[in-house]
Amino acid sequence: MVRNANAMILAAMRASSVVFSQDAPFGRREALMVYLRRKVEFSASHRLYNAALSDEENLAIYGRCANPSGHGHNYTLEVTIRGKMNPRTGMVIDLKELKQIIVEEIVDKVDHKNLNTDVDFLRDIIPTSENLVVSFWRILEKRLQGICELYEIRLWETENNVVFYRGEEEEIVRHGVAHNS
């Protein structure tokens, strides 16, 4: 009976936006490591190019994404955090608070903006999805410090293109830096 109840609880948890670690059985007294994911959407335009390269080189590297007029995307941003449940609340973080942090720190600054010219924290950064997730990580990691641990950021540029980042040290590629491959 207990086994069936635990299976039902796990099934309900998997169906929600809360992902529980399988590492610790429910009978253990220490707190479980819990993963929560919040999804938000924003729309933005950008142009992919490196100012240190010629128009021809940019076109060869970035294709139509180097169009001087730019282009836009409807992005989906997924932020996954992890932490131990608060024994008083049963939560790692209130999902409303996590959403508010993501919206204040990222969405309000990038939604319906030109990522090349309108976003201060992206100034001089080539706004590839790879550079965006690293930039978003650095901002959210600071804001979530002491509350929970940032585990992963996923950025969907299209339904077919997604970039993942888990905080590994990565250098952001900026304009004016020509890289030879």
Q: Side chain identity at 76, as an amino acid letter?
A: T
pLDDT of residue 6 exceeding 80, the answer is no
- Asked, for residue 57, whether it belongs to a domain, the answer is yes
The tokens describing 178, both together, are 């020509």
Q: Enumerate the active-site residues.
A: 65, 112, 157
In a domain, residue 98? The reply is: yes
What whole-number percentage of the chain has pLDDT above 90? 73
- Using one digit for the tens of pLDDT, what is the confidence trace for 57-98? 999 999 999 999 999 999 999 999 999 999 899 999 999 999
Identify whether 159 is part of a domain: yes
What is the mean pLDDT of the segment spanning 40-53?
A: 96
Specify the pLDDT at position 7: 56
pLDDT exceeds cutoff 80 at 103: yes
Average pLDDT across the chain, whole number: 86
Q: What pLDDT, on the 0 to 100 scale, is given for residue 65?
A: 96
Instruction: Reduce the secondary structure of the chain to three states and give it as a string.
Output: CHHHHHHHHHHHHHHCCEEECCCCCCCCCCCCEEEEEEEEEEEEEECCCCCCCCHHHHHHHHHHHHCCCCEEEEEEEEEEEEEECCCCCCCCCCHHHHHHHHHHHHHHHHCCEECCCCCHHHCCECCCHHHHHHHHHHHHHHHHCCCCEEEEEEEECCCCCEEEECCCCCCCCECCCCCCC
Report if residue 54 sits inside a domain. Answer: yes
Q: Is residue 10 part of a domain?
A: no
Q: In three state form, how does the secondary structure of 39-80 look?
A: EEEEEEEECCCCCCCCHHHHHHHHHHHHCCCCEEEEEEEEEE
Question: Among 29-38, 57-66, 123-132, 141-150, which stretch is predicted with the lowest mean pLDDT?
Answer: 29-38
How many separate domains does the chain show?
Answer: 1
Residue 18 belongs to a domain: no
Residue 155, domain extent:
31-165
Decide if 150 is inside a domain.
Answer: yes
Q: For the domain that residue 146 is a member of, what is the CATH number?
A: 3.30.479.10
Q: Give strand pairing partners of 3.
A: none
13 is a domain residue: no
Is this structure's pTM higher than 0.85?
Answer: no
